[in-house]
Amino acid sequence: MHLHASDLAARRGEELIFEGVSFALVSGEALVLTGKNGSGKSTLLRVLAGLLRQETGTITVMDANGATDFRLPEISHYLGHRNAMKSELTVEENLVFWRRYLGNADGGTGMSIEEAADAVGLSGITHLPFGYLSAGQQRRFAFAKLLVSHRPVWILDEPTAALDASADQLFAGLIEAHRAAGGIVIAATHQPLGLSDARELRMAGFSGVSAGVWGW
Ligand SMILES: Nc1ncnc2c1ncn2[C@@H]1O[C@H](COP(=O)(O)OP(=O)(O)OP(=O)(O)O)[C@@H](O)[C@H]1O
């Protein structure tokens, strides 16, 4: 798998948030977006996930067979600030929905619901309504969404915000396992995620754009 973003720029409302963002990633690599509040990390992730249209630039993906006839949103998971789970449905109902909706990409297979619950340290409570759970438990199950459906690229916006130290470690382990299996991870964060050999893209906001500021 090869992912190449070239000369991306994005606008929110009337404002140009960033421009000239380029990077390339191959299977197993992680890119961490850093930068102060409002510098455009979430905006870039939403562009990559296909939720916002870029102003300029291209995003191309190539699988191991050299095929390029698919788009990044079709082969990626997006975990935003919000968990995208229904409070009234049980955890299992939420995860079954996401598994059916997202399907599997790239010839992979997702985990069963109980395997995924176990992987996020919360087995045995998938029968509970999602809304009954604590904020940390909800975030863990939002992460389980990435496990029940196989998609090779994970796009994560502050995945560990408001989590305890054990959840930080658990998520880092799951991300590293995904990379070891050939996955790609792009994550925005304000705190170290504990990933090995992650590359950093420092977002400086439009006013800070100058040669080399993106670190490439
Ligand atoms: N829906 C919107 N309409 C207009 N402007 C927006 C919108 N969403 C975000 N912005 C602006 O885009 C800029 C970048 O926001 P973004 O959320 O990408 O930053 P960020 O680096 O992820 O910030 P944080 O670290 O606070 O999460 C900010 O100036 C913000 O005010």
CA distances 85 to 82, 114, 131, Å, are 8, 17, 9
21 is a domain residue: yes
Helix (DSSP H) and strand (DSSP E) numbers for the chain: 5, 8
89 is a domain residue: yes
Q: Which two tokens stand for residue 74?
A: 């079709």
By most ligand atoms within 8 Å of CB, the mutation choice from 18, 33, 36, 42 for ligand 1 is: 42
68 CA → ligand 1 middle, Å: 31
- Alpha-carbon span 93 to 96, nearest angstrom: 5
pLDDT of residue 206: 64
Q: Which atom from ligand 1 is nearest to the alpha carbon of 43?
A: 18
216 is a domain residue: no
135 is a domain residue: yes
> Domain range holding 126?
2-208
Ligand 1 binding pocket (C-beta < 6 A) is: 12-13, 17, 35, 37-43, 188, 203
Look up the pTM and report it: 0.92
Question: Helix, strand, or coil here: 97?
Answer: helix
pLDDT of residue 208: 44
Q: Which atom from ligand 1 is nearest to the alpha carbon of 81?
A: 27
pLDDT of residue 160: 87
215 is a domain residue: no
44 CA → ligand 1 middle, Å: 10
For the chain, the domain total comes to 1
103 CA → ligand 1 middle, Å: 30
Ligand 1, atom 1: closest residue by C-alpha: 12
pLDDT of residue 215: 43
Ligand 1, atom 30: closest residue by C-alpha: 38
213 is a domain residue: no
pLDDT, block means (10 residues), the chain with 216 residues? 95 91 96 93 97 96 87 95 96 98 90 97 96 95 97 95 84 95 93 85 68 42
Ligand 1, atom 18: closest residue by C-alpha: 40
201 is a domain residue: yes
Sequence-ordered list of residues with C-beta below 8 angstroms from that of 38, at least 6 positions apart, any chain: 205
76 CA → ligand 1 middle, Å: 22
205 CA → ligand 1 middle, Å: 10
Q: Pairing state of beta strands 153-157 and 56-62?
A: unpaired
- Alpha-carbon span 180 to 28, nearest angstrom: 6
Q: For position 140, which CATH number holds?
A: 3.40.50.300
61 is a domain residue: yes
